[in-house]
Amino acid sequence: MAEKGSIPNVEECKRTSLASDDESSIASTKEPTGSKMADQLDFDTEKQPFDGVRDNSNAIGKAHSNQEPLHSVFTSRQKLFIVTMTALASFFSPLSGQIYFPAIPQLADDYHTSTGKINLTITTYMILQGLAPTIMGTFGDTTGRRPAYVVAFTIYLAANIGLATQKSYLALLILRALQSAGSSGTIALGYGVIADVCTPAERGKYLGPVAAGIMTAPAIGPTIGGLLARFLGWRSIFWFLAIICGVYITAYMIFVPETARKVVGNGSIVPTDWWVMSPVQAFHARKELKRTVVEGRKEELDEKRNKAVELAKKRKFKFPNPLNSVLILRNKDAAIIISFIAIGMTALLDMLASMPILFGEVYGFDSLKVGFCYMPVGAAAALAAFSNGKIMDWNYRRWAKKLNFALEKKRGTDLRHFPIEKVRLQPLFIIVPIGVASYIPFGWILQYRVHLAVPLALQFVTGFCMVAMNNTLSSLLVDLFPEKPATASAAANLVRCWFSGAMTAALSYMLAV
């Protein structure tokens, strides 16, 4: 397996470089993996060749040849590190969206305006939260994950500093939108990274931490925001976000390698552009270069360099086109999946958005106590993200064994003749009805001022079910569009955020009446 820093050993270099010679000819004769729905989309496949598992698999239900390249040369520990950093990156957008929920009354007092107008900053945040990933997702798929992450977090850091120092409602509104534009692209990029390094057989396990970051943040964000607003004032919320962003992006730029398959293939190709390569990756690349020269493996070295140059030529920079994500919605199956994601997450987010006002009126809670009331949802989100990933992997293994389908965790798997839709969706026939049943009585429970334990219990169940549903459907979407995972995830995020923004605006009006 690969040496630390994602530089493969001699045998792996020779195997991957030899196999890559035939990669383009294989890709030209095979259909894409996942389902046939990807074929229905009008993507320019000649200029933007598929980068998913298609290029690494050519057998259905049979053992793969030893000459076939690995799906990823990253070791299990390297994958775990990459996924952990990806999960932390995905944590920022939902955290920033809800962290100042408990401070809404303070903001309204300071700006001498209504809570309804402050809630508009949530709506504008969600609008950009939907639009930004369509740009960043396409940018990450074509240029590389690292440049996209660096651009996103630079914008996010600047916006947080501005929010901590601004003194007008208009500046708050604009900078919140800019904050969203910076952080929101990381969600689509995260699903792209998972598709880069993980095969479908292990995708559920690695999607769990990313989904945990995305879905736990809206729950624990208000708790953190309540504590900061109570003891340090609402401006401390944005200073806190700026500080943790600075720490994260520094660590990311130093340690995390590039994973985009159009840039590094399965991880064995060293990027030609310095800004795409991490310092650690560059160090190990130079070390491997010296070893190759000393051992006289000039032919192997030239072969890898030619492959890197070839990938760089195919990877011409184009300004990201948000319409690439919208095109996915033309497919009816994808549209149905994305609609379910949007409805489920809107229901959960509106429940969270109503708590500062309703819990204050019904139970007389201040911002700190309201913040603590989000903890059950946070616990449920974390539990669902990890447990549901194991359930998905278990069901995948069960069906693979039943159908005598090759279970590959190191090499790509062609899913054209595998019932991936049925495999992913089966657990939802139990999870979704339970979630709906726990969500419906929430309003009546508060109307009749039932004991606090009851709405918190309903939040826990609803949070668990909705997060599990989101995790499952997002995984299915990546399975169906392996050639453009970040773009597909961006389409789901676009619909979810815009629908949530509209419903949150309507909710604010309903609560104010």
DSSP string, 224-287: HHHHHHHHH-THHHHHHHHHHHHHHHHHHHHHPPP--HHHHTTTTSPPSSGGGS-HHHHHHHHH
Closest residue by Cα to residue 467 from 342, 396, 380, 346: 380
CB 120 within 8 A of CB 247: no
By C-alpha distance, which of 105, 9, 55, 34 is closest to 365? 105
Categorize the per-residue pLDDT at 178 as very low, low, confident or very high, splitting at 50, 70 and 90: very high
Contact call for residues 259 and 197 (beta carbons, < 8 A): yes
Whole-number pLDDT of residue 461: 95
DSSP alpha helix (H) spans, 256-372: 261-264, 279-294, 298-314, 323-328, 332-363, 367-372
Question: Highest-confidence range of 106-115, 149-158, 379-388, by mean pLDDT?
Answer: 149-158
CA pair distance 323, 131, nearest whole angstrom: 10
Contact (CB, 8 A) for 261 and 73: no
Query: Average of pLDDT values for 390-397?
Result: 86
Distance CA 257, CA 285 (A): 11
pLDDT of residue 236: 95
Per the listing, tokens 């990313």 go with: 210
Averaged confidence pLDDT in the chain = 77
User: What per-residue confidence (pLDDT) applies to 171?
Assistant: 93
Asked which of 310-314, 333-337, 385-389, 491-495 is least confident by mean pLDDT, the reply is: 310-314
Give the contacts of 344 (CB within 8 A, at least 6 positions apart).
432, 435, 466, 469, 470
| Region 172-197 average pLDDT | 88
Task: Report the chain's C-alpha Rg in angstroms.
Answer: 23
* Domains in the chain, CATH or no CATH each: 76-259+322-512 (1.20.1250.20)
**In the numeric block, which tokens belong to residue 148?**
């996209």
The residue among 263, 276, 275, 242 whose CA lies nearest residue 153 is 242
For residues 487 and 481, is the Cβ–Cβ distance under 8 A? yes
- Confidence (pLDDT) at 103: 85
Dihedral angle sign, alpha carbons of residues 126, 127, 128, 134: positive
Q: What is the mean pLDDT of residues 369-386?
A: 84
Query: Using one digit for the tens of pLDDT, what is the confidence trace for 269-302?
Result: 777 777 777 788 777 777 777 777 676 666 666 6
- Where residue 269 falls (left for φ over 0; alpha for ψ -120 to 50; beta otherwise) is beta
Residue 83, CA distances (Å) to 105, 119, 441 in order: 37, 33, 37
How far is 391 from 410, CA to CA, in rounded Å? 20
Token readout for 88 is 């932390």
Q: What is the predicted pLDDT for the residue at 223?
A: 82
Closest CA to 11 of 285, 297, 258, 410: 297
State how far the Cα of 250 lies from the Cα of 253, in Å rounded to an integer: 5
pTM: 0.69
**What is the distance between the alpha carbons of residues 420 and 499, in angstroms, rounded to a whole number?**
27
Question: What is the widest separation between alpha-carbon atoms in the chain?
Answer: 80
pLDDT at 430: 93
